[in-house]
Structure formats: structure tokens, C-alpha cells
Amino acid sequence: MKAPRATRLCPLITVLSAAALLSPPQPAQAAPAPITPPAALSAPGSSTAPVDDPFFHPPTPVTAKPGTVIRSRTSRFRVQPSGLVDTAVHAWQLLYSSTDAHSRPIAVSGTLLVPREPHHGNGPRPIVAYAIGTHGLGDHCAPTRTLANGTDYEGVVIHAMLERGWAVAVTDYEGLGTPGAHTYANGRSQGQAVLDSLRAAGRLPGTGLSAEAPMAVTGYSQGGQAAIWAAELQPSYAPDLDLRAASVGAPAADLQAVAQHLDGRAGFGFGLAAGVGLKAAYPELRLDEALTEHGRKLISDVTDDCTLQIAAKYGLRTWKAVTREDILQSPEWIQRLGEQKAGRRRPLTPVRLYHSQRDDVIPYHASTELRDRLCALGATVDWQPYTVPTHIAAFYASAPQSLSWIEGRLSGQRVGNDC
């Protein structure tokens, strides 16, 4: 295994933590350009578009095959900190078909971004599915809104991808933007929404994109969970896609471990949100009955919150304080939590897996154990530990190396294997 690389830290004042610059690469490599995070993270959800916008209401029932564009409209892409419209990018908002955790057809919303500059490489322009990290549970938190109004904390990373000439597809996932509850932390639903965003991108007329384009998926945190699920599902769910890379950062690869890790910690609200998301995917799960009065108030509150509210409002609570019984040990919850564990199907595409040893939200061992499961399946894994403190700081610090790694895969370079 690789030893952790030294890091150089650069403070970022936010309500969440400090950010950091990229750790120096090995001497033989050229350093990727650092990605500068916004000076402050804005709370998403301030879009002027109405939450009940008819555009996001799908036909009933949804009958189109997965990845079909149901409707589209032109949009805009704004990046913090300026908030100005990026005039070098074509932007569309999409409503496309996908499937939920029970293999039922659903509609999912998303954004497609394509550089206006003609593609000068050999073959079609690459398409990268960007699996978003936690944005929240309310429809006003959806990336279709935050990317358009310039309040998306991941916009700077997406902008760096566009500058490399790639088209970028950003899914909202199930129920975030569209009617119904967001199935937050449901790996299968998220992974399928990511894969179908690539299909939809290749099929939308007037973009210059091709369904046969080289493709990649990338994501961090919730997006890391979605990205690894997409990579594992692709051979059976979307074999038509030319998927060449999966970059997976700090994934919620073991929800049982994450829930236990967050107990009594500052990030406890993300555990609450995961409970809401799994209940949305599996209505038979007992949740309300197992909550204390205080727990029911918190659950009711979190269902419309975006990322910053989830991070700021619910910290240091414990499962014991919000539940009447230990639901993490109940058979029904153990089963559903276990079903979300990644690393049970061999991805055919190479996987870059990375995680900070000093992550304060998702335990580091969740990724080392995922690495071991993937290796046991015969997958190709490029494993990279970091020592950057905090979950959000490691996201910005790791982004340039992740994009360089994806670029190498899309151009056909050989990949190392740390298994």
C-alpha cells in the first residue's frame, strides 16, 4: 500500500471547517493546479425558481427506458465566489428516466454542462458524471438550483472539469428536485441515477455529445457512495456505457459504521438525514415509533434542510437521546443498512479510492475495508490516503489529483493497482 503523502494546509474560513491545498505529488509528477475553494460556503437553496416548478413534475406513470430525456430546457452555470454566469459553458436542466431501489421507473432531474469551445481531442468529447455530495433533503437544495444561482459549494470543482474540455452531467438523485422524498444514502438508487445521467447526456439533441463517448464517474462523500455504486452496477445495469474511470472519495461505504461514528459528534445531523433517506426508500422501516418526542422534532426539522443547516443544527446529539430503542441493532435496520454496503460487485473500470485519515464525518476504516473488499473481488484499485484534517477540507485538497487521474483514464493511460 502507498504511504500517506505529506500535506500543505491552507486555511479556509467556513462554518464547516478549514480547507487545504493539494498534497505534493511524487517527484516524478507535475503538480496539478490547486483548486481554490470559495471564501465561504453559501447555504444552497436561494434560487428564484419556485420549488413547485412544473418542469420537475414528471408524467405519470414514467414509462421511458432508463436514461431517456423526458424534457429539457436551457439554464445557466454560476460559480462562487463571483456568482457570475459562466459564458463559456452551455447549460441545460434535464428531467430524465431512471429506476429506484426496487427497480421501478422514476424520473430524476439534473444538469448538463458542455463547454462552448469545440472539442479538439480524438473521438467524441468525454462525459463525466459528477455525483454530488450532500446537498440536503429539501427540493430547494437541489443542484439544478444551486448550480444555476451560484451557491453550490462543489461548483469550483465542476468548473475545473469543464476547463479540461469535458462535458459534465450532475444528477439531483431521486426525490431531490422532483416530487417525493429524497432517498438520501440509498446506494442503488443513487448509482442508477448517476449512470442514467450519462445516458441522458449522450442522448440530448443539440449538445454535440455522443452516447459512445468515453465516460467517467466521480464523487465525494454521498457522491463517493453514489460513484462506487455506479461503478459496481455499470456492468449489469448500463453495459452500453463506455465507462473508463471511477474516482471515489470518502464514500459512505458502510452506513452502519458511519452511524456509529457520528453518534455524539458534530456531524450527527447527517446520520439523521440518512435515517430519513432510508425510510423514504423503504417505507416499511420503523422510525417514527422508535423516536423520542425530541427525536421526532429533529426528524421533522431536518427533512427540509440543506447541507449547512444539517451540519450546524444537530451536532453532538446521540442516538440514545433521540430514540426509544436501538434501531441500529434492529433486524430490519441491520438488513437495510447492510444492503447499502459497497464492495460486493466487481467494477470493471479502474477505481481511484481516497480518504483522509483525519476525516471527522466518515470513518477512515470504511474506505480501507472497502478497498479490501474490492481487491478481493479482483478490481483494479488506485488507493490514496490523505492526512488533511476534516472531511470538507480533504474534498478540496484531493480534487486536483482526482481530476488528473480521471484525465489519464479517459486518454487511455495505464493505471496502477494497489491491490
The string of pLDDT tens digits covering residues 168-222 is 999 999 999 999 999 999 999 999 999 999 999 999 999 999 999 999 999 999 9
Cβ–Cβ < 8 Å for 196, 103: no
pLDDT for 49 equals 47
The pTM (predicted TM-score) of the whole model is: 0.90
Question: Are 285 and 217 within one domain?
Answer: no
Question: Are 164 and 117 within one domain?
Answer: yes
Question: Are 264 and 159 within one domain?
Answer: no
**Which range marks the domain in which residue 267 is found?**
255-337
| 45-104 per-position pLDDT tens digit | 444 445 679 999 999 999 999 999 999 999 999 998 788 889 999 999 999 999 999 999
pLDDT for 36 equals 65
Domain for residue 280, yes or no?
yes
Tabulate helix, strand, coil % of the chain (nearest 5). 35, 15, 50
Q: What residues pair up with 382 in beta bridges, in sequence order?
A: 352
| 2-13 per-position pLDDT tens digit | 433 333 223 232
Given 318, 337, 356, the domain boundary residue is 337
Pairing of strands 167-171, 214-220: unpaired
Given 337, 372, 390, the domain boundary residue is 337
* Distance in angstroms (rounded) separating the CA atoms of residues 82 and 101: 39
CATH number of the domain enclosing 272: 1.10.260.130
Question: Are 75 and 205 within one domain?
Answer: yes
Domain for residue 24, yes or no?
no
pLDDT for 392 equals 95
Given 321, 337, 353, the domain boundary residue is 337
Question: Are 213 and 300 within one domain?
Answer: no
Question: Are 123 and 185 within one domain?
Answer: yes
pLDDT for 39 equals 54
pLDDT for 56 equals 96
- Residue 331 in this model has a pLDDT that exceeds 60: yes
Domain for residue 418, yes or no?
no
Question: Are 155 and 295 within one domain?
Answer: no
Closest CA to 331 of 252, 256, 277: 256
Q: Which three cell numbers stand for residue 96?
A: 430524465
Domain for residue 291, yes or no?
yes
Q: Which three cell numbers stand for residue 229?
A: 455504486
Domain for residue 201, yes or no?
yes
CB atoms within 10 A of CB 29: 10
Helix axes 187-203, 222-237, angle to 10 degrees: 70
Question: Are 191 and 332 within one domain?
Answer: no
| 275-291 per-position pLDDT tens digit | 999 999 999 999 999 99
Question: Are 205 and 248 within one domain?
Answer: yes
Domain total in the chain: 2
* Distance in angstroms (rounded) separating the CA atoms of residues 272 and 258: 11
Question: Are 67 and 161 within one domain?
Answer: yes
| 10-38 per-position pLDDT tens digit | 323 233 333 332 333 333 344 577 776 76
Give the Å distances, CA to CA, from 372 to 259, 353, 417: 21, 11, 12
Q: Which three cell numbers stand for residue 237?
A: 445495469
Domain for residue 13, yes or no?
no
Question: Are 237 and 285 within one domain?
Answer: no
Question: Are 69 and 161 within one domain?
Answer: yes
Helix axes 155-163, 391-410, angle to 10 degrees: 20
**DSSP three-state, residue 333:** helix
* Distance in angstroms (rounded) separating the CA atoms of residues 149 and 146: 5
